[in-house]
Amino acid sequence: MAFELVTAEMLASLIDNALRFTDHLKDPRLASWVSELVDARNRILTKLGGGTVDATLAAAQKEANDNDKLHDRRHRKTHRLLTALADDERPEVAAAATLVLRLAYADGLAFINRPFEVEVAYHAKFEERLRRPDVEAALRTLAGPLPELASDLAAITAAATALRASLQKVRQARLDKLGNPSSPELFAARRDALETWATFARVVDKVHKGDAPATRQARESLVGDWRRLLAAAGTATPAEDAEDPSAGGGGDAGGDAPAAP
């Protein structure tokens, strides 16, 4: 997804999520961004609250919601069946089901509660895991005791594909609305919030860099969804040769940190 397709609602959701993790924002270089993030989110919500949802956008949103529910149900069913087989009395069946759960569902079902775009991004990873030779072998073992598994997995792919198409319709409807002369303030609020958020994300990568578990968790909590959105679209992060933003959000990073909202 190109940056211009990141919706105003999506930005507000990303910012809201990051602001929840106050422990990861205590570093002065990040704390100095809190007020800017809050302002950016509030400007978006104010403009969205004053707008109207046209019929095209409403229909696209309903379609996306319906496809998301279907996608989630199919994943829950497959995960439930595999979990049951992991306790099967036949050792080879139990081992195969356990392997598929461990590798294909390495993150459990947490992803189905993430933003729609993250679910779509996850599906590419899910399919890649299913193509692993050891997973393919395990699925062949499970074909006997669970003959519907192949069709269930195909149904998951179909649902993910439908969700992706629905999201594209939503994005296009958003772009049409943002491009309408009657929405210049929303367009400007979204543009400014995107610039603020993308710069903040670069700061997070600088402050919470490294492979220590606590550091990785901080990055995941603050900007994990954003990185997955970019990865799903094959979109690079903002230019690395841009001015180093690590001094903070327009203020002295070494000064008193603003209070969390």
Structural domains of the chain, count: 2
pLDDT of residue 231: 73
pLDDT of residue 221: 87
Distance CA 250, CA 158 (A): 46
Distance CA 119, CA 198 (A): 21
Tokens at residue 198, please? Answer: 């993308």
Do residue 58 and residue 169 come from a single domain? Answer: yes
Work out the pLDDT band at 242, boundaries 50, 70, 90.
very low
pLDDT of residue 167: 85
Count of residues making up the chain? 261
Distance CA 24, CA 214 (A): 10
Do residue 70 and residue 124 come from a single domain? Answer: yes
Look-up of token digits 């422990």:
23
Work out the pLDDT band at 186, boundaries 50, 70, 90.
confident
Distance CA 197, CA 199 (A): 5
Of 153, 180, 207, the residue that ends a domain is 180
Of 138, 164, 180, the residue that ends a domain is 180
Average pLDDT, the chain: 81
Of 180, 195, 211, the residue that ends a domain is 180
What domain range includes position 77? 53-180
Mean pLDDT, residues 6-19 taken together: 82
pLDDT of residue 229: 77
Do residue 75 and residue 171 come from a single domain? Answer: yes
Do residue 70 and residue 127 come from a single domain? Answer: yes
pLDDT of residue 178: 55
pLDDT in tens, 75-103: 999 999 999 999 999 999 999 999 999 99
Do residue 174 and residue 256 come from a single domain? Answer: no
Do residue 145 and residue 71 come from a single domain? Answer: yes
Higher pLDDT, 146 or 17: 146
pLDDT of residue 251: 36
Do residue 4 and residue 90 come from a single domain? Answer: no
Whether pLDDT at 217 is above 60: yes
Do residue 156 and residue 91 come from a single domain? Answer: yes
Work out the pLDDT band at 250, boundaries 50, 70, 90.
very low
CA angle 169, 174, 180 (to 5 degrees): 130
Whether pLDDT at 184 is above 90: no
